[in-house]
A and B are shown apart, each in its own frame.
Chain A
């Protein structure tokens, strides 16, 4: 039973990584950049939801909607102000700008909300324990997994069926050709950032419902791990991000439970390295062909 408990916890943690990883992977696929500030958008989302619940007395659903709205605006603003002027620049320059943005968000959060860790209210997903047979599962865990499945299905349908989704796939395949076909590239990229940031807000709330300590650096470690998950599954691929995220979460929880608590992170990264050595483009990534 402990095995099953761990498995469910792992899938739940992995679902959070997967939702964050979606933001990384979509932005990477379309704009070919590592958006280092993504982890900090999660943190902002969690803080906004926290304020909604604690200070403004919003009901949980309204709080999460407000948080999603704020993050969407934030994501689009960041893209427009900092990344768009560098669309043609070298990828390292964009990377450094993203890092600067990450510092900026962390320090803004530090100024607004202070350095003291806030404890995220349990009221959002009141963590009642549900018994399924002999399994004890908290409702937060179940909601996280459920949210992940819904987002996965919705996003797959969106990219496959809608006009905007198709535009996104086109731009990620060949930006120049997409532009020639009359696709508004800048608008499509902005839209990708909007979706990624809205997902980040959800991830932030889910993360803090399971691990209720909120501080300005809350987003950075899950951010790095989710990015790892995106690479693990093959960066640029939406199912890859899902698979990578969930596997990473399961490996982390099992590593912590059965091998060593302190070495959990090391195990995660070691598995990543082994996978990349065997399959250098990630689990579901397309192998890159080199042209001379």
Chain B
């Protein structure tokens, strides 16, 4: 096993260990009732945002394409999940919530994946900022379309109408235009969210460290070089894009089934930007970083509650300062000099350890 491989393996194991440890601690806190109400309500959304951040990192960090419409896939997943779950409950009278949740998540993932393929075909022909603006446009189109979507269920069948509400008598509305998906029975659980995170980590980390993953990263680093080495660029970019879309769809389904309504305005451009912020603050191409920053930044506005009106202001200032402090060459050089003795100490120890071996 080479050194780089071993390092990566350790990092991946640390990622899994941290997630599992966090789950066990939180579960025991829930059992011991020593967890605040507001945090408890946030557990499922945190899981959904972690999955969103990790999947977006696959597109931005590993495949190197800036996508600004990730919330669009989330909304596809959330709506599909709500409709499938509602249909199974009302039309098929399925009472088993776990099975319903699993089916809803799967359906959400599949629908978002289909959307990912449809959007990916035109989008991945473009480069750079143009690609970014087209993903933004698709996100906005998805939002406008669900705004005029009406889905109801009556006598075991789904009724779908577009632009105007034409429904038969005695219909149970599932999606009601601008009101969004209504009367959802919240069935998402923290455990389901945890399992979804594990699935995401397994999928993303395996993909990244596979032959396909290396091809994806090669395309990111130098498209022309990769192409001339015989890497089918579009195929691999598509693979990353669609995988991310499927995961985002599942996260959306989980998020949607955590509350009683889902409205189109929850998945605007700003939401895509929020996920982008998680990814960039966590570090491009750093999966563990995405997990940590998604968790921290979801909890942060809640922790800033005492600032009440100022919390978004503080959030904005923190965001700007972090970006400047981590990216300004002068400040970085200063920090490096500041920590140099510490680093040397660390490195010296490591070398000594290596010699002893």
Contacts and interface: CB of A to CB of B under 8 A. Distances in A.
Contact of B312 (A90, A92, A107): A107
Given A280-B126, A280-B130, A272 B137 contact: yes
B141 interface: yes
Interface stretch (A124-132, A142-150, A258-266): A258-266
Contact of B144 (A96, A265, A280): A265
Contact of B141 (A34, A104, A270): A270
B329 A272 contact: no
Interface of A: 28, 34, 82, 85-86, 88-90, 92-97, 99-101, 103-104, 106-108, 110-111, 220, 224, 227-228, 231, 235, 260, 262-263, 265-266, 269-270, 272-273, 276-277, 280-282, 288, 290, 292
Nearest to A265: B144
B276 interface: yes
B140 A266 contact: yes
Contacts of A85: 324, 327-328, 330-331
B323 A96 contact: yes
Interface in B302-357: 309-310, 312-313, 315-317, 319-320, 323-324, 326-331
Contacts of B136: 224, 228
B102 interface: no
B148 interface: yes
B277 interface: yes
B125 interface: yes
Interface of B: 60, 66, 122, 125-127, 129-130, 133-134, 136-138, 140-141, 144-145, 147-148, 163, 224, 269-270, 273, 276-277, 280-281, 284, 309-310, 312-313, 315-317, 319-320, 323-324, 326-331
Contacts of A220: 270
A108 B313 CA distance: 7
A220 B265 CA distance: 14
A260 B310 CA distance: 40
Contacts of B329: 88-89
Most buried by A among B129, B147, B310: B129
A262 B328 CA distance: 44
21 contacts: A34-B129, A92-B284, A95-B66, A96-B280, A97-B324, A103-B312, A103-B315, A104-B313, A106-B312, A110-B309, A111-B310, A224-B136, A231-B129, A260-B148, A262-B144, A263-B163, A269-B140, A273-B137, A276-B133, A277-B126, A280-B125
Q: Binding site of A, secondary structure by majority: helix, strand, loop or mixed? A: helix
Given A103-B315, A224-B269, A276-B134, A86 B328 contact: yes
A85 B334 CA distance: 14
Most chain A beta-carbon contacts within 10 A, residue among B270, B273, B327: B327
A270 B140 CA distance: 10
A88 B324 CA distance: 11
A101 to B, nearest CB: 6
Nearest to A101: B320
A96 B317 CA distance: 12
Q: Which 5 A-B pairs have the closest CB atoms?
A: A100-B319, A269-B137, A266-B144, A103-B316, A89-B327
Contacts of B281: 96
Contacts of A96: 276-277, 280-281, 319, 323
Contact of A104 (B125, B144, B163, B320): B320
Given A85-B328, A92-B66, A93-B327, A269 B313 contact: no
Contacts of A224: 136, 140, 269
Residue of B144, B284, B313, B328 with highest tally of chain A CB at under 10 A? B144
